[in-house]
């Protein structure tokens, strides 16, 4: 429903029955400590609009002293260049063996390969595989 305010500007109003819930779920689905590492579970679409949420989770883990971070990408449907840049930024703070990616689906894995980031960010088939690895 649209209503015209006193200033002549058109304002939107919530219609009866409309939900005030966000249209998308937050990208950070969970953060946990496992085997001396922090596992950050991401999901949905990772892009410009939620890159700060991802950055905040990663910088929080880094500030907390995590020597290694495993990013569980098994529930990620899409990742854009902004979100990839956030991962590269975290890797630069942690060092080459500090950030590991786990379980990316086919499209996400393809994006990592096309961008060449799979050569700079270790990619594992699962969180358990990443945790068991030496990081290289």
Domain boundaries, the chain: 24-132
**How large is the angle between the packed helices 81-94 and 106-115, nearest 10 degrees?**
70
Q: How far apart are CA 98 and CA 89, in angstroms?
A: 12
- Alpha carbon distance 51, 8 (integer Å): 36
**pLDDT interval class at 24 (50, 70, 90):** confident
Please state whether beta strands 10-12 and 28-34 pair in parallel, antiparallel, or not at all (unpaired).
Answer: unpaired
Residues counted in the chain: 136
pLDDT in tens, 65-97: 999 999 999 999 999 999 999 999 999 999 989
Cβ neighbours for 112, distance < 8 A, ≥ 6 positions apart: 84, 101, 104, 118, 121, 123
CATH level 3 topology of 24-132: Transcription Regulator spoIIAA (3.30.750)
Q: Quick one: pLDDT at residue 22? A: 64
């Amino acid at each position: 429903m649209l209503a015209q305010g006193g200033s002549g500007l058109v304002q939107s109003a919530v219609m009866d029955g409309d939900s005030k819930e966000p249209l998308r779920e937050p990208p950070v689905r969970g953060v946990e400590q496992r085997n001396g590492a922090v596992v950050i579970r991401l999901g949905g679409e990772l892009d410009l609009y939620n890159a700060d949420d991802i950055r905040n989770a990663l910088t929080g883990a880094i500030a907390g002293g995590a020597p290694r971070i495993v990013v569980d990408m098994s529930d990620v449907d899409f990742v854009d260049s902004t979100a990839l840049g956030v991962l590269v930024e975290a890797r630069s703070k942690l060092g080459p063996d500090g950030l590991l990616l786990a379980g990316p689906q086919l499209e996400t894995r393809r994006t990592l390969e096309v961008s060449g980031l799979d050569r700079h960010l270790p990619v594992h088939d699962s969180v358990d595989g990443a945790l068991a690895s030496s990081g290289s």
